[in-house]
Amino acid sequence: DAKTTQPNSMESNEEEPVHLPCNHSTISGTDYIHWYRQLPSQGPEYVIHGLTSNVNNRMASLAIAEDRKSSTLILHRATLRDAAVYYCILRSGGSQGNLIFGKGTKLSVKP
Amino acid sequence: DAGVTQSPTHLIKTRGQQVTLRCSPISGHKSVSWYQQVLGQGPQFIFQYYEKEERGRGNFPDRFSARQFPNYSSELNVNALLLGDSALYLCASTRLGLAGGPAGTGELFFGEGSRLTVL
């Protein structure tokens, strides 16, 4: 699986939008972009995934660059409960059930 | 529906001992994966089991073993514990097939983990 690069940490104010970047310059055509987050003292939880087009769900939006070498997870209105480590992960079309996690981005949300 | 459940939640062992961790997947999920998360790092893949067979193994020594039972629950065993085995051990299950869905799109559902401390 190709590698991703994320900032170690980011800060946000409550109720403001947050844009979490991820670089994946070696992404292949069959790689899906997945985002998981891990709240303190919990296991990771799925946030969103996409292939080429931007995606929206109840938790977040995923904006994917046209060349697919980068993507951005967007939290439209950060809450204190969004403070977590966010992981950007690539999964190939033929991948098995395992994920390759990096160190992720630790998001702090200030009231 | 209950999520992925793991037991015990916390345990303390000494070097050289053996430990067994247990995982019950979400009802209907047939694939279970195990991950090790050392403090400050992302989770690292250890094993995947699907339909009671090992389908994937990460870069871990033979001291680590696992199995899956007919009811799809799973156990992770670690022998001859080392201080470096201290970590959060996470179990994840997937709904559909081996990859959790077509073309690597499936979502993994994680438990809250078993925190192992080796003294």
Answer yes or no: do B106 and A97 touch at CB < 8 A.
yes
- Give the per-residue pLDDT at B98: 52
Answer yes or no: do B104 and A95 touch at CB < 8 A.
yes
Using CB atoms within 10 A of its CB, is residue B56 exposed (0-12), middle (13-18) or buried (19+)?
middle
DSSP annotation of B25? P
> Average pLDDT of A10-28?
95
- Give the per-residue pLDDT at A72: 98
**For residues A93 and B84, which has the higher predicted lDDT (pLDDT)?**
B84
pLDDT in tens, B80-98: 999 999 999 999 998 755 5
A28, pLDDT greater than 90: no
Q: What is chain A's mean pLDDT, rounded?
A: 92
- Give the per-residue pLDDT at B36: 98
pLDDT-derived band at A2 (thresholds 50, 70, 90) equals low
Neighbours of A56 (CB within 10 A): 13
Q: Walk across the sheet containing A70-75 and list its strands.
A: A18-23, A70-75, A61-64, A55-56
CA-angle at A89, arms to A86 and A93, nearest 5°:
150
- Give the per-residue pLDDT at A12: 96
Structural contact between residues A20 and A106, judged by C-beta atoms closer than 8 angstroms = no
Q: How far is CA A92 from CA A78, A98, B66, in A?
A: 30, 11, 25
Answer yes or no: do A101 and B44 touch at CB < 8 A.
yes
Out of A34-38, A45-49, B51-55, least confident range? B51-55
- Give the per-residue pLDDT at A95: 54
B1, pLDDT greater than 70: no
Nearest residue on chain A to B95, alpha-carbon basis: A97
DSSP annotation of B77? E
* A73/A61 Cα distance (integer angstroms): 6
* Alpha carbon of A92: minimum distance to chain B alpha carbons (Å): 6
- Give the per-residue pLDDT at B81: 98
